[in-house]
Amino acid sequence: DLGAYAKTLSSMTLAEAHRYFHTEQKACMFPVGSWYTGRAFVPPDKGGQPKDFELGMLNNPVTKDGKGHGQKFLGVAGSLAVAAKSPNLALAIKVADAFADVDIGNMWMSRTGVQTGIKTDPAKIDSPLKWYFDEYARVNRSTKWVDLTAQQVKVLMKPGLWETYVATVNQGLPNRLIGADEALAKLEEARLKGK
C-alpha cells in the first residue's frame, strides 16, 4: 500500500506472483526468500519458471543510518517426531531416525531444491540446481543470519497479539479481506492491549 512494489504484484497470491515474474515476465524483481525453489523449479507446465529463464539475485538496498545492515532472518524449520505413547514406539523411532540422515537430507535437496531442517552436506549434493545455491551463497557471503522462527516470535509476543497476527498477516492480507492500514491498526491495538 505504500508503493514499494506495484499493486499488481503486492496484491497477488504467491502462485500468481511467481507466474507474473518468471512466466509472464511482467516484473523485473521478485522479493522472496530462499524458498523460491519450491515453486520456481517445478516443471513449467506445473507453474515453474521457463527452462531458459535467467535468474539473478541481489540484496535489498540499505538506508543511510539504518539498523541491521547485512542482517537477514533465518527460519530453518522442519522436524521429525513420534508419539511418546505409540504402541510401536521403538519402530516409530527407527523410522524417524532413518529420515534424520545426511544422505536423506542431501537427496531431498538435490531433487527438490527446497532447504530442509534435516542435516545436509552441501559438498555432496549433486543437483541440477547447484547453480542456484552457489549464487545464493555468493550473494549472502557477508550476511549475518538472525535465527527467527514463528515459534520464537510467538513466545515473545504479548497475550492476544499472536492471534491478531495470524488473523491479519496470515489470513486477512493474503485473502484480501483487509488492507494494510487496517492490519496495522489491528496489530497496534493488540500490542497496546497486551502491555
Could you tell me if 153 and 96 lie in one domain? no
Domain limits for position 141: 70-147
Could you tell me if 143 and 156 lie in one domain? no
24 in helix, strand or coil?
A: coil
Its pTM stands at: 0.68
The radius of gyration of the chain from alpha carbons, rounded to an integer in Å, stands at 20
**How confident is the model over 77-108, as pLDDT tens digits?**
667 889 999 999 999 999 998 888 999 999 98
Strand ranges in 67-125 using DSSP code E only, listed in sequence order: 71-74
pLDDT tier for residue 44 given thresholds of 50, 70 and 90: very high
Residue 99: predicted pLDDT: 85
For residue 192, the one-letter residue type is L
> Does residue 60 belong to any structural domain of this protein?
no
* Least confident piece of the model among 3-12, 118-127, 166-175: 3-12
Residue 75: predicted pLDDT: 72
Could you tell me if 92 and 137 lie in one domain? yes
Q: Structurally, how many domains does the chain consist of?
A: 3
